[in-house]
């Protein structure tokens, strides 16, 4: 039974305890909490000012051939300091990043509250053994609120965690990130396969946004849509929040047609009309980014049409036109049809054919 009360739902703080020691501890805890909140606000303000400085710097420069001819409002601004962290070198068809010093920073999330520093890193970031994390905490390479702590220090919401590392990024294709069109609103690039669009996971400088900053001086661009790391093709980036919203709204409304070509396993069916796959998708593993077909998932539709079939390799070229924009949608729908992309490491049980 839902009980509706006519009384205002104002929170009333609990009465202060009679014990002076308990009262002092509560006051100390509240003061520490407010200090953390204030520190976090200061850091956010500082970051906003840094982004605005980059945008002002970009806006003050004349346009060039690739041209930064307007101020871009972007959450993905790449600063000159970040560009100066490292550089690229190329070998054997790969773009490589020289290892560099880097500090991962994050604030304590609600689900981390009450856990120890050692348990958090060991359980949520299991890339290193527990013993290594123990040594890093003791050496001050992992800190809390800028201070060296013990491995059994208990974390609280708003605590700032910092983890200093010698960062080694995976290599990607050395194919150039080529600008195919550019105007006052957008920059359109030809994204090579293997390069993620934005920094994520182990990739940072080996991402489209950082490469554009390094090599084309595009340091403030706004995301309109994304392509999977392993997917190549045209990518639209906006110079302003207004432009990004306008183009994103057109994509959302179905006014923009996106077409992909995939090489798939087996003889894809040849039909007189486009083959529609209308199968909802559900996130299976947030950490790995895996999705699957499931009745309780979000609606997802893709149109397919066979372009060619190679009897020697038993592979088909298929035109794919997503009608919705779910993560890995085309890859999962092709797998569901029994024709996974030939070299898909996630949704093909035996990738290998290129």
Going from the first residue of the chain to its last (354 residues), give the mean pLDDT of each consecutive group of 10, the final group possibly shorter: 37 57 75 72 63 44 30 60 96 98 94 96 93 97 97 95 96 97 96 94 95 95 91 94 92 89 97 96 80 95 98 97 92 97 90 58
How many other β-carbons are positioned within 10 Å of the β-carbon of residue 337? 18
| Active site annotation includes 190 | no
**Residue 339, pLDDT score:** 97
What is the distance, to the nearest Å, from the Cα of residue 96 to the centroid of all Cα atoms in its chain?
Answer: 20
Sign of CA dihedral 104, 105, 111, 112: positive
User: The whole model's pTM is what?
Assistant: 0.72
Given the residues 228, 249, 274, 344, select the one marked as catalytic. Answer: 228
**Residue 289, pLDDT score:** 72
Return d(Cα 200, Cα 65) in angstroms, integer. 29
Mark residue 117 as left, alpha or beta (left: phi above 0; alpha: psi -120 to 50; beta: remaining).
Answer: alpha
C-alpha torsion angle, residues 133, 137, 140, 141 (rounded to 10): 30
């Amino acid at each position: 039974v839902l009980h509706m009360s006519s009384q205002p739902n104002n929170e009333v703080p609990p009465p202060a305890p009679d014990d002076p020691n308990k009262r002092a501890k509560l006051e100390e805890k509240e003061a520490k909490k407010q200090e953390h909140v204030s520190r976090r606000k200061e850091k956010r303000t500082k970051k906003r000012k840094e982004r605005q400085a980059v945008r002002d710097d970009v806006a003050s420069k004349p346009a060039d051939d690739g041209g930064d001819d307007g101020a871009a409002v972007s959450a993905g601004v790449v600063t000159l300091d970040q560009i100066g962290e490292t550089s690229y070198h190329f070998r054997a068809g790969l773009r490589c990043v020289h290892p560099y010093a880097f500090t991962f920073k994050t604030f304590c999330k609600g689900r981390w509250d009450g856990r120890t520093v050692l348990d958090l890193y060991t359980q949520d970031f299991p890339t290193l053994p527990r013993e290594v994390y123990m040594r890093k905490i003791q050496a001050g390479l992992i800190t809390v609120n800028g201070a060296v702590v013990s491995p059994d220090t208990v974390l609280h919401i708003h605590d700032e965690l910092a983890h200093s590392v010698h960062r080694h990024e995976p290599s990607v294709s050395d194919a150039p990130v080529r600008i195919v069109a550019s105007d006052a609103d957008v920059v359109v690039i030809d994204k090579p396969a293997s390069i993620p669009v934005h920094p994520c996971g182990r990739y940072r400088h080996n991402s489209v946004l950082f490469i554009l900053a390094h090599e084309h001086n595009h340091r403030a661009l706004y995301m309109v849509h994304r392509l999977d790391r392993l997917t190549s093709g045209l990518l639209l980036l906006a110079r302003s929040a207004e432009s990004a919203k306008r183009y994103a709204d057109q994509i959302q409304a179905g006014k923009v047609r996106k077409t992909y070509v995939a090489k798939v396993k087996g003889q894809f069916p040849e039909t007189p009309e486009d083959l529609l796959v209308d199968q909802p998708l559900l996130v299976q593993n947030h950490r790995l980014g895996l999705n699957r077909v499931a009745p309780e998932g979000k609606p997802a539709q893709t149109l397919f049409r066979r372009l060619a079939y190679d009897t020697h390799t038993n592979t088909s070229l298929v035109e794919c036109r997503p009608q919705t924009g779910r993560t890995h949608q085309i890859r999962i729908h092709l797998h569901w049809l029994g024709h996974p992309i030939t070299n898909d490491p996630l949704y093909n049980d035996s990738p290998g054919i290129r």
